[in-house]
Structure 1
Amino acid sequence: MTLLRAANVQLAFGSRTVFEGLTFTIEEGERVGLVGVNGSGKSSLMKILAGAAKPDLGELQLRRGARVTYLPQEPEFPEGATVQSELAVSQAPLKEALDAHAALSRKLEADPAHATPKMLEQLSALSDRIEQAGGWDTEHHAKTLLDRLGVKDWDRPVAQLSGGLRKRVAIARALLTRPDLLLLDEPTNHLDADTVDWLEDELDKLPGALLLVTHDRYFLDDLVDRIVEIQPGGGLISYPGNYAAYVEQKLVAQENAETAEHKRGRWIAQEVAWLRKGPEARRTKSKARIERAQKLLAEKGFQRPKVADLKVVAAPRLGHTVIEAEGLKKSFGDRKVLDGVDFRLQRGERVGFLGPNGVGKTTFLRVLLGEIPADSGKLVIGKNTKVAYYDQQRAQLDPEQTVYDAASNGEDHVELADRKVALRDYLEDLLFPVPMQRMKVGALSGGERNRLLLARLFLEGANVLVLDEPTNDLDIVTLNILERLLLDFAGSTLLVTHDRYFLDKVATAILSFDGEGKVTRYEGNYDMYKRLREQSQAAALKAAALKKDEPKKDEPREEPAQKPAQKKPGKLSYKDQRELDGMEATIEAAEKRKAELEAKLADPAVYSQGSKVAEVNQALEATTAEVDRLYTRWQELQDLAAGTA
């Protein structure tokens, strides 16, 4: 059954048409991902569907009695709101049902002899409403949600919270409403990777329908059963399945469109040649063919969508020492942020930073960059190291400057691959047309400001990129371009991001910020980090359990009648030992090959060669299977060496 339908929606901002004749439906219980490039109108459509904005034309039809909850990118709260009051507001329908159930129960208990079938039916109906709205112990559930989201102060005014904590309160408020339709606009922004994992599980449990705008591709893969793409100009294309299915279907559709366009081009060439012949050759009976040829020439053929053409200018070669830190300590009052941290960045490495918000990731970056001093420890920056820093607050951009001036740094040309390119043309390649170049930076969307800052950063000629949350607000197409650019970058990269898919594709190592100033390094990408961390946690739990089972000193030790033989650490054969010694390099090579193939699939140029796409896909499947096999074999060898196999 249709839950929500928008028909013939039209929306324009000045001379720019966002939607025209757009029709969109959501069925009951459906999970839909909404994708499109920055500026295509995703957030505007969400606001219209939520009733928070009105279109210029069109109508919105919502199933009678259906409840809709909308979480915008930047949530709003009434003046004087506290955490508790906001969660109470979100549960108003539940509180109403609880109060009605309590009143009816008291009435029945006071006079059970006058209970009627109708009163019992009402009590049963109220019980069902309570269950659907979230259950009986609502305050406990709300506090559990807040605690998991890292919000500790139940009575604290919302105005005193940071932007990230305000977003978390808004997420808890939205989840507690348990609506028939939940609209989420970039819910993962400002959340750490572990919290994103948790939120994914919570959304999976919700019984209602979901419409989701997010650049988190794992989120889309795991949660949605349909992808709707907003085309430039406001059209919609629907693809059944999750994000992976959408990518595959879109590749096939583009291949087919390009084949059709090639045939159309040949037909046009043939018809033009025929039209150039004299009237004698064409004859009068060919009038219909002439009209058909003229119509064909007037049609707009298939054009591959434009993408931002980010470039990195040449940089000096890094020396043997890039950035090295030893025993770094940093505290703010009684709070330890860094406690004796050692770190070495090598040439070509791409190190991702992971950990809860506020644990010290940005502080560590700023200490490494020399922006704030460490309390103690040693820091060495290589003499050839040139750093470009992307600040998550985008403080380097002046909102009063024009886009052109913000990108220029006083120059009208940029140096790209030993050639000069006019800045105006370079900005056009970044999807900032000339009229947009005259706009103020403050008028740009978050994704457009992000793209502008990244473009300016890559023009600095740095050989070390330090990127603090660069993926926020970027559309998926631009994320793919950024991934490919970082994979091709000859220097080193330090990267703070919650985007698990992004880290899987580009990271060669992960720094895990574990709290209390402790930082642990894991080699490999995000998937490898998760495996190694789970193994480490399992080993720690096993050791704690064994320690708990040990008898205390004052207690007599009970010896078994026959002590079972304990397995000693095994001694690997020469062949197995050599295999284990080389396993790390083998896994790294396989991961690199996998990343290269994924980068090829992200490259628009590969889709112009039909057979190439299938070939790359097959190679990627084989390489992924090989990576999994290597990890399994590595674990087997480790177990043999430890005597646990």
Structure 2
Amino acid sequence: MTLLRAADVQLSFGSRTVFQGLTLTIEEGERVGLVGVNGSGKSSLMKILAGVARADAGELQLRRGARVTYLPQEPEFAPGATVASELSVAQGPLREALAAQAELTRRMESTPTQGQEKLMEQLAALSDRIEQLGGWDTEHHAKTLLDRLGVKDWDRPVAELSGGLRKRVAIARALLTRPDMLMLDEPTNHLDADTVDWLEEELDKLPGSLLLVTHDRYFLDELVDRIVEIQPGAGVISYPGNYEAYVEQKLVAQENAAIAQHKRERWIAQEVAWLRKGPEARRTKSKARIERARKLMEEKGFQRPKVAGLQVMQAPRLGHTVIEAEGVQKSYGERNVLKGVNLLLQRGERVGLVGPNGVGKTTFLRVLLGELPPDSGKVVIGKNTKVAYYDQTRASLDPEQTVYEAASPRGDDWVELGDQRVALRDYLDDLLFPVPMQRMKVKALSGGERNRLLLARLFLEGANVLVLDEPTNDLDIVTLNILEGLLLNFTGSVLLVTHDRYFLDKVATSILAFEGDGKVTRYEGNFAMYRRLKEQAEARAAAAPSPTAKKAEPASVAEPKQARKPGKLSYKDQRELDGMEAAIEAAETRKAELEAQLVDPSVYSNGTKAAEVQKDLDAAAAEVDRLYTRWQELQNQAAGT
């Protein structure tokens, strides 16, 4: 059954048409992901569907009695609201159902037996409604939600909370309403990876339909069964399946459209050649065919979507020392944020920093950059190291400047890209900031557009170390893919804070995990490898007998000295395991050096040389995989698994 239908919706801002002729239908229980480039109108469409904004034209139909909950990117709260009062508001429908049930129960007591049948039916319906709204122990459920989201203060005013905590309260409020349709606009912003995993599970259990805008591709893969893509200035295209299926279908559709366009252009060329032969030739053709040819030439043919052309200015080669931190300590009062943290950043490494909010990731970056002094320990920056820093608050962007003024770090009208000198206005046009938009003030841009502008400016600084604190927030998926490719081809080093698991899996060569109370652990590999290694370590710790249990064992059950205990490595294997970390680091470094060579113009323009480097790179990648496999074998053997 159809839950919501929008027909021929149109929306414009000034002379710019956001979408027109847009028609969308959502069925009961359907899970839909809404995607599109920044500025295509995803948030605007969601507001229209939620009834909090009006379209210029079109029709909106919602199933009678259906309840909709909408969570915007920046949630709003009533003045003076507390955490408890907001969750109480979310439970309003449940309280009404409970009151109605109590009233029916009271009436049952005074109604003769023969008249109770209808009341019993009403009570059964109310019981189903109460269960649908979350059951009977609602306060316990609400507090469990808040605790899992990291919100501890039940009676604290919402106005005193940080932006991240406010978003978490709003998520809890939305989940508690258990509506027929839940609309979420970028719900994963400000959430750490573990909390995003938990939110996936909660949304998967919710009844009703889901409409979701998010740049988190794993989130889309896990939760949606249809992707709807907004076409800028037009309507929508629907693709069945999750995000992975959408990508495959879209690639096929684009290739088919490109083939059809090629055939169309060839046919037009033939017709134009004939038309140029003059009146005598045209008399031999039917008027209908001439008219058909003219209409075909007037039609807009297929064009591949334009994407943001992010590029990095050439940077000086890094020296032997890039950034080194040794024994870094940082505390705020009695709270340890960093406790004896070490980091050796090497050429070509891309290190992802992960962990819950507030455990010190941004603090560590600021210590490395010299913005905060450590309480103890030292940080060494290489003499050839030039750092560009992306601050998640985007504080370096002046909201009163125009896009053109904000784009160039030095105020130049030209930018140097490789061996080319490009006009700034042309560079901005390639970044999807056309000339009229270049005159707009920064404060008029969307969050994604501001993010793209700051990244573009950052990459023009000629840095060989990129320090990026939450660069993926608000970016559309197309731009995320471009940023991934850019970082993979970057010849310098990268320190990256992001909660985007897909992005870390594509980009990171190692993970620095901030585990609380100042503890930081390094894991080689991407995010998926880090999760596996962490789970294995936790499983081994849980399976290991406690010291008390060991003391309680009777001496008579001890193994003879000459027999090796299960899980104990031989001397040779232990030495191999002890040296494995250094071997993996060396292999990763070799692989990164070869990757850097392969993107060097002097190499990839030389076919023979490129083939040699590619062969060496394949061998280096195989060696890295072999070392990881052997390391895992030794770890399992040591643990007796």
- TM-score normalised by length of structure 2: 0.90
Residues 111 and 6 of structure 1, relative CA distance in 2, 3 Å threshold: closer
CA distance in 2, matches of 1:107, 1:565: 76
Residues 114 and 590 of structure 1, relative CA distance in 2, 3 Å threshold: farther
Residue aligning to 2:632 = 635
Residue aligning to 1:332 = 332
Report the Cα offset of residue 210 of structure 1. Answer: 0.3
Residues 629 and 109 of structure 1, relative CA distance in 2, 3 Å threshold: farther
Letter of the structure 2 residue corresponding to residue 302 of structure 1: F
CA distance in 2, matches of 1:130, 1:397: 49
Residues 47 and 629 of structure 1, relative CA distance in 2, 3 Å threshold: farther
Letter of the structure 2 residue corresponding to residue 473 of structure 1: D
Secondary structure of 2:179's aligned partner = coil
Residues 43 and 624 of structure 1, relative CA distance in 2, 3 Å threshold: farther
Report the Cα offset of residue 122 of structure 1. Answer: 2.4
Q: How does 1:228-243 map to 2 (within 5 A)?
A: 228-243=228-243
Residue aligning to 2:496 = 495
CA distance in 1, matches of 2:289, 2:111: 89
CA distance in 2, matches of 1:269, 1:51: 49
Deviations 1:17-59 (A, max 9, x none): 1121111110000000000000000000000000000111111
Q: How does 1:611-630 map to 2 (within 5 A)?
A: none
User: Does the Cα contact within 8 Å between 1:158 and 1:166 map onto a contact in 2?
Assistant: yes
Deviations 1:285-339 (A, max 9, x none): 4322222221121111110110000110011111111111111111111111111
Are 1:534 and 2:535 matched, yes or no? Answer: yes
Letter of the structure 1 residue corresponding to residue 632 of structure 2: Q
Residue aligning to 1:50 = 50
Residues 112 and 567 of structure 1, relative CA distance in 2, 3 Å threshold: farther
Deviations 1:370-402 (A, max 9, x none): 001111111111111110000100000000000
Secondary structure of 1:59's aligned partner = strand
User: Does the Cα contact within 8 Å between 1:465 and 1:493 map onto a contact in 2?
Assistant: yes
CA distance in 1, matches of 2:146, 2:77: 17
Residue aligning to 1:567 = 566
Residue aligning to 1:456 = 457
Superposition CA RMSD, Å:
3.0
CA distance in 1, matches of 2:625, 2:242: 23
Residue aligning to 2:613 = none
Residue aligning to 1:292 = 292
User: Does the Cα contact within 8 Å between 1:4 and 1:63 map onto a contact in 2?
Assistant: yes
Are 1:88 and 2:88 matched, yes or no? Answer: yes
Are 1:221 and 2:201 matched, yes or no? Answer: no
Residues 562 and 339 of structure 1, relative CA distance in 2, 3 Å threshold: closer
Residues 588 and 206 of structure 1, relative CA distance in 2, 3 Å threshold: farther
Residue aligning to 1:183 = 183
Are 1:644 and 2:613 matched, yes or no? Answer: no
Q: Which moved more, 1:230-239 or 1:134-143?
A: 230-239
Residue aligning to 2:610 = none
Report the Cα offset of residue 476 of structure 1. Answer: 0.3
| Count of aligned positions | 615
CA distance in 2, matches of 1:456, 1:643: 49
Q: Which moved more, 1:293-302 or 1:385-394?
A: 293-302
User: Does the Cα contact within 8 Å between 2:468 and 2:497 map onto a contact in 1?
Assistant: yes
Letter of the structure 2 residue corresponding to residue 567 of structure 1: P
Secondary structure of 1:320's aligned partner = coil
Q: How does 1:431-442 map to 2 (within 5 A)?
A: 431-442=432-443
Report the Cα offset of residue 111 of structure 1. Answer: 8.1
Residues 346 and 561 of structure 1, relative CA distance in 2, 3 Å threshold: closer
Residue aligning to 1:614 = none
Report the Cα offset of residue 458 of structure 1. Answer: 0.3
Deviations 1:103-137 (A, max 9, x none): 44455568897872223222222211110100110
CA distance in 2, matches of 1:585, 1:382: 20
Letter of the structure 1 residue corresponding to residue 542 of structure 2: L
Secondary structure of 1:302's aligned partner = coil
Residues 562 and 518 of structure 1, relative CA distance in 2, 3 Å threshold: closer
Are 1:518 and 2:519 matched, yes or no? Answer: yes
Report the Cα offset of residue 178 of structure 1. Answer: 0.5
CA distance in 1, matches of 2:113, 2:237: 62
Residues 130 and 418 of structure 1, relative CA distance in 2, 3 Å threshold: same
Residue aligning to 1:383 = 383
Letter of the structure 2 residue corresponding to residue 481 of structure 1: I
- TM-score normalised by length of structure 1: 0.90
CA distance in 1, matches of 2:316, 2:112: 87
Identify unmatched segments of 5+ residues in structure 2. 600-617
Identity of aligned residues (%): 76
Letter of the structure 1 residue corresponding to residue 242 of structure 2: N
User: Does the Cα contact within 8 Å between 2:362 and 2:469 map onto a contact in 1?
Assistant: yes
Secondary structure of 2:129's aligned partner = helix
Residues 589 and 562 of structure 1, relative CA distance in 2, 3 Å threshold: closer
Deviations 1:243-296 (A, max 9, x none): 000000000001001111111111111111111113223334432222222112
Residue aligning to 2:416 = 415
CA distance in 2, matches of 1:318, 1:120: 78
CA distance in 2, matches of 1:144, 1:559: 48
Residues 176 and 146 of structure 1, relative CA distance in 2, 3 Å threshold: same
Residues 255 and 407 of structure 1, relative CA distance in 2, 3 Å threshold: same
Q: How does 1:139-538 map to 2 (within 5 A)?
A: 139-408=139-408, 409-538=410-539
Residues 109 and 592 of structure 1, relative CA distance in 2, 3 Å threshold: farther
Report the Cα offset of residue 460 of structure 1. Answer: 0.3
CA distance in 2, matches of 1:380, 1:332: 23
Residue aligning to 1:39 = 39
Residues 17 and 643 of structure 1, relative CA distance in 2, 3 Å threshold: closer
CA distance in 2, matches of 1:299, 1:22: 20
Q: Which moved more, 1:141-150 or 1:560-569?
A: 560-569
Are 1:549 and 2:549 matched, yes or no? Answer: yes
User: Does the Cα contact within 8 Å between 2:19 and 2:231 map onto a contact in 1?
Assistant: no
User: Does the Cα contact within 8 Å between 2:37 and 2:478 map onto a contact in 1?
Assistant: yes
Letter of the structure 2 residue corresponding to residue 439 of structure 1: M
Residues 560 and 347 of structure 1, relative CA distance in 2, 3 Å threshold: closer
Residue aligning to 1:616 = none
CA distance in 2, matches of 1:527, 1:239: 27
CA distance in 1, matches of 2:146, 2:361: 23
Deviations 1:166-205 (A, max 9, x none): 0000000000000110000000001111111111111111
CA distance in 2, matches of 1:626, 1:369: 34
User: Does the Cα contact within 8 Å between 2:584 and 2:627 map onto a contact in 1?
Assistant: no
Report the Cα offset of residue 626 of structure 1. Answer: 12
User: Does the Cα contact within 8 Å between 1:354 and 1:361 map onto a contact in 2?
Assistant: yes
User: Does the Cα contact within 8 Å between 1:590 and 1:626 map onto a contact in 2?
Assistant: no
Residue aligning to 2:611 = none
Deviations 1:485-504 (A, max 9, x none): 00000100110100000000
Secondary structure of 1:142's aligned partner = helix
Letter of the structure 1 residue corresponding to residue 331 of structure 2: S
User: Does the Cα contact within 8 Å between 2:328 and 2:376 map onto a contact in 1?
Assistant: yes
Secondary structure of 1:498's aligned partner = coil
Report the Cα offset of residue 459 of structure 1. Answer: 0.2
CA distance in 1, matches of 2:498, 2:344: 20
Residues 209 and 590 of structure 1, relative CA distance in 2, 3 Å threshold: farther
CA distance in 2, matches of 1:573, 1:342: 29
Secondary structure of 1:73's aligned partner = coil
Residue aligning to 2:612 = none
Report the Cα offset of residue 581 of structure 1. Answer: 5.4
CA distance in 2, matches of 1:223, 1:129: 24
Identify unmatched segments of 5+ residues in structure 1. 600-619
Residues 114 and 509 of structure 1, relative CA distance in 2, 3 Å threshold: same
Report the Cα offset of residue 633 of structure 1. Answer: 6.0
Deviations 1:223-257 (A, max 9, x none): 10000000121321100000000000000001001
Q: Which moved more, 1:38-47 or 1:374-383?
A: 374-383
Secondary structure of 2:286's aligned partner = helix
CA distance in 2, matches of 1:250, 1:229: 10
